[in-house]
Amino acid sequence: MRYSVEKDGTMSVVEVVAAADGTFSISVDGGAPTRWARTRCASGEWRLGPVGQRSWAVSAHVEGDAAFVVHRGVAYQAVLRDPRTLGGAAAAGASVDDIRTPMPGAVARVLVKPGDVVRAGQVLVVVEAMKMENEFKSPRDGTVADVPAATLRAVEAGTVLVRLEPA
């Protein structure tokens, strides 16, 4: 399957091909494919890595066309544009402007408030999950429109933490 992936305003073409042995190959922007293996560790958590090499624990949540991934305590967000479902996120109400948590946890710190101007990469909210602090950073420059997250509040996977509007 071929996807257009937007992260931090940059588009890439990612091709994922599943193999009969449970591995899959991934190529980015037409580069040489790399074989990857995955193993389910816990609910919503996987170990991913190139075949025969070190793997990493990754938590992931996909909602509509939005993918939310946490690796080593850092949260990443990208928009997946599957040609078969292009526009599905808008119909489902998902937005790249919504910063969401991919896993359940508790909000440890909220570092912004509505009206704050933020830069790409700036930490907005910290969520504690599985005894790790996960930083949720702004995917782009913008202005904070809303902050539904509240310190010490429990959150479920997919919960909106911060809403951004264009700068």
Over the stretch 29-51, which tens digit does the pLDDT of each residue have? 888 888 888 777 766 577 777 88
CA distance 126 to 144: 16
pLDDT band at residue 67, thresholds of 50, 70 and 90? confident
The pLDDT assigned to 118 comes to: 93
Each residue's pLDDT tens digit, 86-135: 333 333 343 447 888 877 889 999 999 999 999 988 999 999 887 788 88
Helices and strands counted in the chain (H then E): 1, 16
Q: At residue 70, does pLDDT exceed 80?
A: no
State whether residue 125 is helix, strand or coil: strand
Q: Say if residues 112 and 147 touch (Cβ distance below 8 Å).
A: yes
Which residues make Cβ contacts (< 8 Å) with residue 123, sequence separation at least 6?
A: 111, 135, 136, 137
Q: To the nearest whole percent, how much of the chain has pLDDT over 90?
A: 16
> pLDDT: is 162 or 96 the higher one?
162
Can you list the domains of the chain with their CATH numbers?
2-166 (2.40.50.100)
Q: What is the DSSP letter of 31?
A: -
Tell me the average pLDDT across 133-162.
88
pLDDT band at residue 68, thresholds of 50, 70 and 90? confident
